[in-house]
Structures are given as structure tokens and as C-alpha cells.
Structure 1
Amino acid sequence: MKLNLKNPLCIFDLETTGTNITQDRIIEIAVVKMMPNGEILRKSNVLNPTIPIPAESTLFHGLTDEDVKDKPSFKDVAKDYAKFMEGADLAGFNVLKFDIPMLVEEFLRTGVDFDYARKKIIDAQKIFHMMEKRTLSAAYKFYLNKELQNSHTAEADTEATMEVLLAQVEKYEGQDVIDGANRKIGEIKNDVETLSKLTSSDLVDLAGRMIKNQKGEEIFNFGKHKNKGVTAVLKEEPAYYDWMMNGDFPLDTKRKLTEIKLRGFGGKLGR
């Protein structure tokens, strides 16, 4: 089938040195760009992360320090990928919790502008978990009745995610999405905006430290102030802002927190 697109849709996957957004680095990136006219474009690179690759990470994706020593760094290719993904919406498998936060952090680290806030985001894993509840390999087997070969290489996982996403829309189009309380929260449609709202509408920052409640209000999603309004906490405990800004939080989280504070305090960072 063909996905109905108004904008290009970049489906991507990353392999990394680990899972810490602020400390780990990308060592492989692959992007499949679906165009509204049906054309498919592809771009991929193995990268030198500029830090050692842990043995446990190598066991997962098979890449070693020797494999990447002569490869470009993310900084070398950042502008090319930003341009390739410019004007496109984003999709992937588990991208909301990991791949997009990691990618945005790398872009911010290199000083390359990548405004994900203007992009619609589809997380195929969320659709899968809402409708079937499993992993990429299981999703591939379930939807396509095929075994996923070369799992945990960025290219194989990206191609598999594209096939899974297309199969999901074909299988579930027109079906209601029901939450754990048996309430209808939406409907699967062949439409990027609808799929994006179902899978990513409650996020404030990509790491999920802040989310929106049912009223659309920004609340903290961790720690002692979990479920409390962000603006209210910053007004009642100004030092909490300083603690987060000086803490080991992703740059994107700090940027979103500052935007909320500026809005709540009339454009001033003062206390």
C-alpha cells in the first residue's frame, strides 16, 4: 500500500554507544525518506562516535572501535542529514523514547538547527503496543509473516520499520484505539497527523521529563514534583529550575524548561 503523505516522511534508526542521551553517541544512522509521490530515498552512515564503544554495545550491533576509526563523525555529516530531513515528518520504532532524543542531542551538540517541534512524529512501536504489544522482530513476524534478518543493524531495522508501519496502517485503518480504561482515544487512519497525535501528542520534551495532562497542561513526569504543573513548581520553588539546568538532563529538556519559564514569567528568567 501507499501511505498518504502531505510532507515527506523520514523513517530512521540509530545504533549508539549506549542509552544515555547526554553521554553516549551515534555510531550508525539510516534514513528512509518516503516522498508524497511514492519515491523512496535512502541515506545511511557508519560513524566514528569519538568515544570508545563499550563491549556490551558491540555485542548488540556488532560495531567495534576498529570498524569506525576511519569513519566520519556525526559533526561531519550533521548538516547533510539536517538538509535531507528538512521539511519532512519523522517516524521510527521507539523513536520517542530514544532515537529522536539522541538525534536532537547530537544536532544541538554540533550547533546544527533541527527543529523537531514543527514535525509530525509517528512511533510505530506505540501503534504496535497499542494494538498488539510486542518488539520490532515480533512486529515484523506478525505483520509480514517473515523473519527479520540482520536485526540491530540500522539499515535492516529501518527497512523493517517502514514495512511494519505500512502494514499497520493497512491492517488497522478505520479501527478504534482503546486505552487501558476501555476509553476510545482515537482511530487509526492513513494520515500522518492522526498517527502522530496518537503516538506523540502528550510529550513536552523528548526525554519525557515533562508531559501534558488531559487538560493539555505541562506537568513534570519524574521526581518529587511528578504530576505537578511545571509553571507552578517553578514559581513556588525557583531553585528547582537551577537544579535542572545544572543537572545531567538532555539539552532539549533544558531548552523546553526555559521556554516554559520564560512564558510563565512574562519573558524574564529572573525569580
Structure 2
Amino acid sequence: MAHQLVLKKPLAFFDLETTGINITRDRIIEISIVKALPTGGEEVRTRRVNPEMPIPGESSMIHGIYDEDVKDCPTFKQIAKNLAVFLEGCDLAGFNSNRFDVPLLVEEFLRVGVDFDLKNRRLIDAQRIFHMMEPRNLSAAYKFYCGKELVGAHGAEADALATYEVLNAQVSHYQNVEVKDAKGNATIPIVNDMDALHKLTASNHVDLAGRMVYNEAGEEVFNFGKNNGKRVEDVLKNEPSFYDWIMKGEFPLDTKRKLTEIRLRTLTQR
């Protein structure tokens, strides 16, 4: 399609599907690039990539790509040089790209020894513009769902009352509305039931700070540092000094409490 962007050099819109969201550990499994040209046209290139590691089930549930789908695809190392040539002289654009896609792409290039310099590239993130121009805060939600301006925003009582009205309106607005997930399966996520809304909106954090999270199997794993991704029980058994380090460190009391609960549970299981 013809675009209306004023371009002095090509602008490459790109999106990644990956094994996960850890910039250093996870790998690209699909990359799609739409190169908008100064002349008004575009070039599109999409490639699937063998990540040389298993794709976690929770990631496959989001993007619908499984190990079997990429086992015969080229590795990133095999496509890196051609990809760098395709992106040569391009600025980069995406959605949440400055926080995730760009860092992960650069990491992949560095890992295989291909020079991919950002110094002379403009980085444009459409999500930043979206959030700037269409705020997703309580005042915006109150106006959208309740049709009123929030007077006294950031006052505790006004915000609490507005949130009460917003949730009430959300349940009324979305109850029994079907949505489809990435695989095309229809679900009805919003129902007037607090257990269901809790499951929908609660995080997978074990502690409030998210230093520990639940993995796909429902097990507590660490979510930071050298033990990132390791089961908390295993670390406590094999490296008891790590518990002492956390208890003496500047970690939230809630994190220390939850870790102690897991430690006590582990000790009683022996």
C-alpha cells in the first residue's frame, strides 16, 4: 500500500516472535519486516528461524509456533548476513520495539558475530506515540467507560470511586463478549464472577515484587539473577547461602516472607 510517511531513508517496520521475553536468554523464531521505501512502496520479508532451543509451551500458546514448525528452518546465524543487508541503511520501527524487539534483534546479531550498528539509525516506537496520545490511565478509562471527566484525579477517594465505577462498567460492557486467542480459539474472558476476574488479572508472581514467579507447571522459580528460571526449592537445597543472601539483602519483606515459607515447606518434606 502507498504510505504518507515523509522518509529520507527506508523505514523497516519489524516484529519478532520469540521463545520468551528474556533479552539475553531467549531466541527469535520468526521475524517479519515491512520496509517502507522513500518512493512510497514497500518490501515485505518474513522468515521463520530455528532457535536451537525448545520453545516453551506458554510461548507457543501465544504465537502458535511449536518446535515442529521450525525444526527444519534455518538458524539465525544462517540468515543473519542476508538480514543485515536487507536492513542496511534503514531506520527501525515497531510496537514496543525499543524495549524488546530492537534489543533482542541486536543481541542475536552480536551472538553470531554480525555487525549491526544502531548509531546512524532512527528508532521509532509506535507504542510510545500511542500511549502519549491515548493515555491508558484511570482518567482515560473513566472517560471511556463511564463517559465522564474524572474530577479530583490522584485524590485517593476520587480514584477509588472512579475505579469502582470503571469495573462495574467493564463487566456490564464486556460480559459474554467473545474474543479469540492467537490460535483462533474463542473464549469469553469477562464474566461477573470475582474468582474468574482474579484469574484473568492476577499476575503469576509468587511475591508481590516478582522476584519469584510460577512456571508453566505451577512451580516457584526465581525471576532474577544467576538463578533466574531455576526452581526455588532446588536452589534452597543446593545453594542454602542464596537464602541467607536474600534475607540479609535489600529485598522487600514480602519477598523474604514468601521465600521463608517455601524454605520451611522444603525442610518439612525432607
**TM-score, normalization by structure 1:** 0.49
**TM-score, normalization by structure 2:** 0.50
Instruction: Report 1 or 2 for greater relative contact order, CA contacts < 8 Å, sequence distance ≥ 6.
Output: 1
